[in-house]
């Protein structure tokens, strides 16, 4: 089997320790404030210690905890060096962790999914996994018609472990709520659990992938592999030969960074218009640079259904934000549920807090950099800055959860890539109500 920790008592205890640790640090911080230590220094210390414990615990677990940690790791570009340095190795492990099933377990899973005669479907099958993630692993094989294929197989017990982790994360609502008091965390966590349960169904994932594959078939910029066979725990699809976007992040040329940054942005933005779906896992490991220069896209477990495209209100509010119309932006945010009833905000300070989302849209071409992202993070995480309190008053309506995940995660990846992209043109092309 894998090293996936599956004993409920062990997993629950380690996750439960997170809010307990937070409570202890909060009490310690209160004591230091009473003792005369500056409030902002106490807040920073609590934040750093909480981050350290969260990253450490999530990095040692798999399943839902690791998926949560992988999502957090995309945002590492925003962390200042003094916070990031101790965690960089842990964050890398979260992104690259690859527990492996032994061959006999793989064979049993394939027999259960494809039938006892599963070998007859393949001309060749490699027992060594080619890649692995939090709830499954991928094997390279040759289909009976000679096509190279990727066989994605879910870990036995992954579903139970994933939902157990997310139930524990839900119990941490008080900790998350105290970190962001404007956030209505409970419905958001329920939405997260519902979407995670959907990710466990590989048959559902295969249907999303089929829809994307048809929408982007023979596209000059993108390749989505077609599905050949699927079950609730296994997906067989065409193999994509290439290297991950993370290689461009690590050592790409300026031309590569700009080209594939543009294609990455274009795919994220175009999905709702072309397929009625939003690919909702912006992790660079889900994208491949192909030999012919196109961008290949993998992993369709996390998908938002947007049959009418991206919400026009999103484009409308972004356009108002770029124009600096703070009062109207706040009115729109209230209407969409981003500001809860009874929460008072300073309109201009709130607009300033939203600058990381609005600033790129102001430019025909925008150059995303780590320094730019970190400057905003430092400003918004500094209790002495007036924008600090405003940012924590923002709510995230459940229907926007995956959209927000893509928007924020995409900004993080583009900043990691150091990419200059035609931001305004892509927004005008794909985001309803932005250009009008």
The pLDDT assigned to 17 comes to: 47
How far apart are the C-alpha atoms of 272 and 88, rounded to whole Å?
Answer: 34
> Is 114 domain-assigned?
yes
**For residue 304, which phi and psi values (nearest 5 degrees)?**
-100, 130
Instruction: Tell whether 55 and 135 lie within a shared domain.
Output: no
Nearest in space to 230 (alpha carbons), one of 177, 146, 134, 151: 151
Nearest in space to 261 (alpha carbons), one of 230, 279, 282, 276: 282
The pLDDT assigned to 51 comes to: 52
Q: How many structural domains are present in the chain?
A: 3
**Which alpha helices (DSSP H) does 115-184 contain, by range?**
158-170, 173-179
pTM of the model: 0.79
Instruction: Tell whether 145 and 169 lie within a shared domain.
Output: no
Instruction: Tell whether 227 and 271 lie within a shared domain.
Output: no
* Edge-first strand listing for the sheet containing 148-154: 122-132, 136-143, 148-154, 234-238, 227-231
Looking at 238, 271, 294, which one is the last position of a domain? Answer: 238
> Is 134 domain-assigned?
yes
Please, what's the largest Cα pairwise distance for the chain? 74
Instruction: Tell whether 27 and 111 lie within a shared domain.
Output: no
Instruction: Tell whether 265 and 319 lie within a shared domain.
Output: yes
How far apart are the C-alpha atoms of 288 and 295, rounded to whole Å?
Answer: 6
Instruction: Tell whether 380 and 266 lie within a shared domain.
Output: yes
**Parent domain of 116:** 103-158+197-238
Instruction: Tell whether 50 and 92 lie within a shared domain.
Output: yes
Instruction: Tell whether 176 and 210 lie within a shared domain.
Output: no
The pLDDT assigned to 372 comes to: 93
CA geometry: angle at 151 spanning 147 and 154, to 5°? 170
Token pair of 428, please? 């005008």
> pLDDT tens per residue, the chain (436 residues)?
444 444 444 544 444 444 444 444 444 444 444 444 455 455 455 545 555 555 555 544 445 555 555 555 545 555 555 555 544 445 545 544 445 789 999 999 999 999 999 999 999 999 999 987 668 899 999 999 999 999 999 988 877 777 776 666 666 555 555 555 555 666 666 777 777 777 889 999 999 999 999 999 999 999 999 999 999 999 999 999 999 999 999 999 999 999 999 999 999 999 999 999 999 999 898 999 999 999 999 999 989 999 999 999 999 999 999 999 999 999 999 999 998 888 888 899 889 888 888 999 999 999 999 999 888 877 776 777 776 667 667 888 888 888 988 998 899 999 999 999 999 999 999 999 998 7
> Is 1 domain-assigned?
no
> Is 266 domain-assigned?
yes
Looking at 207, 238, 269, which one is the last position of a domain? Answer: 238
Instruction: Tell whether 68 and 147 lie within a shared domain.
Output: no
Nearest in space to 268 (alpha carbons), one of 276, 256, 283, 278: 278
How far apart are the C-alpha atoms of 321 and 351, rounded to whole Å?
Answer: 7
Q: Could you tell me the CA-to-CA distances from 91 to 68, 79, 86, 161, 421 in Å, in that order?
A: 12, 12, 10, 21, 26
Instruction: Tell whether 20 and 136 lie within a shared domain.
Output: no
Q: Could you tell me the CA-to-CA distances from 44 to 28, 53, 381 in Å, in that order?
A: 13, 14, 8
> Is 107 domain-assigned?
yes
The pLDDT assigned to 198 comes to: 79
> Is 2 domain-assigned?
no
The pLDDT assigned to 191 comes to: 72
How far apart are the C-alpha atoms of 295 and 260, rounded to whole Å?
Answer: 7
> Is 109 domain-assigned?
yes
Nearest in space to 102 (alpha carbons), one of 62, 139, 50, 54: 139
Instruction: Tell whether 281 and 424 lie within a shared domain.
Output: yes
CATH of the domain at 119: 3.30.200.20
> Is 167 domain-assigned?
yes
Q: Could you tell me the CA-to-CA distances from 348 to 296, 373, 389, 410 in Å, in that order?
A: 41, 20, 13, 25
Looking at 238, 263, 296, which one is the last position of a domain? Answer: 238
Instruction: Tell whether 80 and 217 lie within a shared domain.
Output: no
């Amino acid at each position: 089997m894998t090293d996936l920790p599956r004993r409920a008592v062990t997993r629950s205890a380690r996750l439960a320790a997170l809010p307990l640790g937070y409570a202890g640090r909060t009490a310690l911080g209160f004591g230091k404030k009473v003792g005369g230590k500056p409030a902002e220094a106490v807040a920073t210390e609590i934040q750093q210690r909480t981050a350290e414990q969260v990253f450490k615990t999530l990095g040692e677990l798999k399943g839902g905890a690791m998926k949560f940690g992988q999502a957090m790791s995309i945002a590492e570009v925003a962390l200042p060096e003094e916070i990031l340095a101790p965690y960089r190795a842990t964050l890398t492990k979260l992104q690259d962790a690859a527990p492996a099933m032994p061959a006999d377990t793989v064979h049993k899973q394939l027999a259960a999914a494809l039938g006892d005669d599963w070998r007859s479907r393949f001309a060749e099958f490699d027992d060594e996994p080619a890649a692995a993630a939090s709830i499954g692993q991928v094997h390279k094989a040759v289909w009976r018609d000679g096509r190279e294929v990727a066989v994605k197989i879910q870990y036995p017990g992954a579903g139970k472990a994933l939902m157990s982790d997310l139930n524990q994360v839900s119990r941490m609502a008080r900790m998350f709520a105290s970190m962001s008091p404007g956030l209505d965390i409970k419905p958001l966590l329920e939405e997260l659990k519902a979407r995670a349960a959907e990710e466990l169904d590989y048959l559902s994932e295969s249907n999303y992938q089929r829809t994307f594959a048809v929408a982007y078939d023979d596209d000059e910029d993108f390749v989505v592999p077609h599905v050949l066979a699927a079950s609730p725990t296994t997906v067989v699809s065409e193999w994509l030969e290439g290297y991950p976007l993370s290689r461009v992040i690590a050592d790409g040329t300026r031309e590569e960074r700009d080209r594939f940054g543009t294609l990455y942005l274009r795919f994220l933005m175009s999905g709702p218009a072309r397929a009625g779906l939003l690919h909702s896992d912006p992790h660079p490991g889900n994208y491949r640079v192909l030999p012919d220069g196109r961008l290949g896209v993998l992993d369709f477990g996390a998908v938002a259904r947007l049959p009418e495209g991206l919400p026009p209100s999103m484009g409308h509010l972004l356009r108002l934000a770029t124009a600096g119309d703070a009062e109207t932006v706040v009115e729109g945010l209230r209407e969409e549920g981003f500001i809860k009833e009874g929460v008072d905000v300073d309109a201009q300070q709130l607009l300033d807090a939203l600058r990381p989302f609005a600033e790129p849209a102001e430019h025909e071409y925008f150059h995303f950099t780590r320094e730019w992202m970190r400057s905003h993070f430092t400003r918004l995480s500094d209790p002495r800055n007036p924008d600090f309190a405003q940012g924590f008053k923002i709510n995230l309506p459940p229907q926007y959860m995956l959209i927000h995940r893509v928007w924020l995660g995409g900004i993080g990846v583009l900043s990691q890539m150091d990419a200059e992209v035609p931001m305004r043109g892509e927004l005008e092309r794909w985001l309803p109500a932005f250009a009008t």
